[in-house]
Amino acid sequence: MTAIPPQTSLINICTYFQTWPKHRSMFLMYGTRHSSSAADWLPKVPGTKDPSRIEMEPMATLDGIYGHAGGTRNGAEGSKGDRQDAPAAPARPLGLSGLRRRFAKGQKLSMVTAYDFPSARFARSAGVELVLVGDSLGNCRLGLPDTVGVTMEDMLRATTAVRRGVDAASGSSPKPLVIGDMPFGSYLTPEDALRNAAAFRVAGADIVKLEGGCHLAPLVKALTNAGIGVMSHIGLEPQRALLQGGFRLQGTTATSAVEIVSSAKELVRAGAVVLVLEMVPEEAVGWMTYSANPDIAADFYGFENPKASIDMLLNWGPIMYLPVAPVAGWMIARHPDSIWAVVFCGGALTAAGLVLRILPTLLGFHPTSLIVHGCIHVGQALNGAAGPANCVTPSALAAMWFPPHQRGFATSAVFAIQMAGPTLGFLLGLCVRSRNDLVLLLEVEAAMSVAVLAVWACLPRKPSVPPSRSQEIRRSGEPQASAVPRRRMISTWVLLLAAGAVVGVFQCWSPALPTQLQGVLPETVLKWFAVITSLASVIGNFTAPQLIEMLHLQHRLKSVLGVTLCLQLVAYALFAVLLPDSPLPLMKGSTGSLMACVVLASIAEGAMAPIVYELSAELTYPMSEGVTGAAFSWLINFFGMVLLAVYPVVPSAYDSIMMVAVSAVALIGLQLVIAEYPRRELDDGACGTELLRD
C-alpha cells in the first residue's frame, strides 16, 4: 500500500480539472466533495458506492483506476476477450509555436503541476497546454518544509516520469509543453545554469523555469542563445521568500510594482518565452497587458537595443522640424499665396514617408533586414520634415479664407485638426496586438495619407474674393504700411518665447505623466491618459475663440491669454502639491483631483495656441501670418527638445514644480507685451490713428 491511498491521489488530480472555489485554498484529501456535479467528473473507483464519497479502502494496484494498456478506465474486471487495444494517438507536440498561435487567437491557456507518471497522463488527456514539474515536489511529495531542499536529482527523476506520462497518454490533444523547474542553487553561475538546464532537456523538459527578476536577464539570454527556452518566474519567488518577507502579496507599493513590470520587460527582451507572475496585484499585471510587453514594433523589426531604436524613431520629428520650419516660414513670407503649395509639399512628404515605411515589407524584405530598418528611419525623417509645412499655416489659412469674425474659430479648427492626428494614431495603436496588426496599421496610415493628399490637390489655391480688407490690400499689391515697428517686433518675440516655452514643455511633460503616475492612478485611466489630455486640449482649442467672439474680446487677446496662463499655473501648483511623492506633501490627492488638475491644464494649454497665433499675426501685420506661425511652432519644438535634454537630470518628483516655474515666468513675460491690433482695425474700418490696445 502506498503512503497516500490511490483514491486520495485520484481526487487530488481531478481537482486540477474542476472549477475550484477561491475560498477553498487546499485540495481535498479525505471526506466528502460537496458538489452536485461530482458524479459527472469523478471516475468510478472500486469499493465506492457514491462517486461523491470516497471510502478509504486500500487497493492492491492502480489498474482499476488507470487500466492496463488497452484496459478499461472504470476498473471493471472484464475478461481478456473484452479488452481491445485502442490505436495510439499520433504524437503531436504543441511546442512554443502552437502555444503562440493559441495565445494570438485569444484562447485561454491552462497549466498544471505534475510530479509523476499518472498525473502527467491525466494532464495530457485533459488537453492541458503546459505541465510544470515544479520544485514544490519538495513540500508536496518529499515531506520537506519548503522548496530549498530539492536537488537536481529529485527534479530530473520527476521530469523523466512526467515526460513518460505525457508521451504514454492517449487522446487527440497535442502533447503539452513540459517545463522543468530549476531548483535552488542550480543556476548560481552561467556555467551551472547551462549544464543543469541541458540536463533538464535530456530528461524530457521542453523549457526550464527560473525564479528571479531583471538581474537574471543575462542568464536568460545565455540560455536562449544556447537553444534552451526559459520561463521566467517573478513576483513571489518561493526560493527567495525569506528575503521577500514570507509568502505574501508582492508589488503592493508603486515602487515594487514598477520593479516587477521592469523585470518582466527586461526578461522578455532577454528571450524569456513565458512569464509566471505569482501573488502580484491585478493592477501590476494590467500594466504589462496594456504596455504591449514586449514592444511589438521592437519585436517585429528585431531591434538589438529596443529602447534606443524606438526613441530614435520618435525623435526624428523634432530633429527634422527645427531646420525645416524656418524654410517653410521663409517661403510663405516671400510668397504669401504659396500656402497651398506649402501644405501640398507637407502632405507629399508625409505620404512618401508613410509609404516608404511599409514598402520594403510588402516587397518581401525581412523586417530585420538593414533595408527595412533604413526605410523606416528615412520614412520617419520625412514625416518630421513634413511637420512644419502643416504647423506654420493655421493663422495664414484662416486669414486667407475666412472673414475677420470667423478667423479665430478657423485658426483653432486648423490647429485642432493637426492635434487630432496624434490622438487618432494612439487610438489605432490600441488595436495593435500582433505583428500582423502592426503591418496592417502601417498600410492603413499610408493609404490614408495618399487619400488626404489627393483631396488637397483638388482644392482651389485661393478664394476668388478676398474675405477681408487686409487680405484685399495684400493680394492687390497696393503699397502697404511701413515696416513693423520695433516695439511690436519686440512684443511679438516676447509673446512667442513665453507661449512657446509653456506649450513646448507641456507637450513633452504630458506624455511622461503616465509613467510618473503608475501606481497612483488606475490602469484604465493611464491607458486612456493621452486621449483624455488630447481631448481636453481640443475642447480648450475650440472653446476659447467662441468665448472671445461671444464676449467681444477680440481686442483683449492679451488679457485672455493671461487668464489661460493663470489657470495653468493654478493647475500645475495643485498637481505638484497633491502628488503622493511631492516634495511639498501638504495633502494627498485622489484620482479625481489629480485628473481634474491635468484636464484643467490641458484645456488652458489648448486655448493658448489659437490666441497666440492671432495675437502674433496682429502684432506683425502687414507681414504674412505664416511667418509668426513658423516661429511659434519652431519655438514649441525647441523648448520641447530642451526639456528632453534636461529631463533625465531632473527628479521626476520635481517635474510638476518645473511646470509651475515655466508658467510663472511666462506670465511675467506676458506683462512686457504691448498688444496692438492694426489688422483688426483695418478690417473693422476703425477711424482715427490711435491703435486698439489691451
**What's the N-to-C CA distance of the chain in angstroms?**
99
User: Measured between alpha carbons, how far is 178 from 159 in angstroms, rounded to an integer?
Assistant: 8
Vertex 472, ends 468 and 474: CA angle to 5°?
120
Per the CB < 8 A criterion, the answer to whether 270 and 214 are in contact is: no
Cα–Cα dist 351/675, whole Å: 40
Computed over its alpha carbons, how large is the radius of gyration of the chain? 34
HEC sequence for 221-249: HHHHHCCCEEEEEEECCHHHCCCCCCCCC
Give the position of cell 488507470. 66
Q: How far is CA 620 from CA 54, 256, 260, 493, 496, in A?
A: 93, 54, 55, 10, 12
Which region holds residue 391: left if phi is over 0, alpha if psi is between -120 and 50, else beta?
Answer: alpha
Show which residues are catalytic: 278
DSSP strand pairing (229-235 vs 111-113): unpaired
Length of the chain counted residue by residue: 694
d(CA 423, CA 511): 12
Strand partners, 93: 175
Report how far residue 676's alpha carbon sits from residue 621's, in angstroms, rounded to the nearest whole number.
10
Q: For every residue of 71-122, which 3-state class applies, written as one string? A: CCCCCCCCCHHHCCCCCCCCCCECHHHHHHHHHHCCCCCCEEECCCHHHHHH
DSSP of 549-576: HHTT-TT-HHHHHHHHHHHHHHHHHHHH
Find out whether 304 and 221 touch, Cβ atoms under 8 Å: no
